[in-house]
Copies of this chain bind each other. A is one copy, B any other.
Amino acid sequence: MISVVILGTGNVAKHLFDVFWDIEEINVLQVLGRKKKKLAYFKEKVATSTDFSNIDNADIFLIAVSDDAVAEVAQFLNGKKGLVAHTSGGVPIAALGNESRKGVFYPLQSFSEGKPINLKKVPICIEAENKVDLKLLQELAQLVSLQVHEISSDQRKSIHLAAVFANNFTNHLFTIASEICTDNDLPFSILTPLIKETVEKLKYLAPIEAQTGPAIRSDVKTMESHINQLKNKNYQDIYSMLSKSIKEKHGQKL
Contact = CB atoms under 8 A, between A and B. Distances in A.
Interface of A: 67-68, 90, 108-110, 112, 115, 117, 121-123, 147, 149, 151, 154-155, 157-178, 180-181, 183-186, 188, 190-199, 201-202, 204-208, 210-216, 219, 222, 225-226, 229-230, 232, 234-235, 237-239, 241-242, 244-246, 248-249
Contact of A196 (B172, B199, B229, B244): B199
Given A167-B195, A219-B67, A222-B67, A162 B175 contact: no
A237 B241 CA distance: 7
B161 A249 contact: no
A211 B112 CA distance: 10
Contacts of A181: 158-159, 162
A202 B192 contact: yes
B212 A155 contact: no
Given A110-B212, A175-B208, A175-B211, A195 B199 contact: yes
B173 A191 contact: no
Stoichiometry (number of copies): 2
Contact of A173 (B173, B186, B195): B173
Contacts of A151: 186
Contacts of A190: 108, 123, 147, 149, 159
Nearest to A173: B165
Contacts of A188: 206-207
A212 B193 CA distance: 23
A166 B154 contact: no
Contacts of A230: 161
A222 B108 CA distance: 17
Given A162-B181, A170-B170, A171-B210, 7 more contacts: A68-B219, A158-B184, A164-B213, A166-B173, A170-B173, A172-B245, A237-B245
Most buried by B among A151, A165, A230: A165
A147 to B, nearest CB: 8
A186 B159 contact: yes
Nearest to A214: B164
A204 B115 contact: yes
B238 A245 contact: yes
A180 B158 contact: yes
A60 B60 CA distance: 69
B109 A194 contact: yes
A166 B195 contact: yes
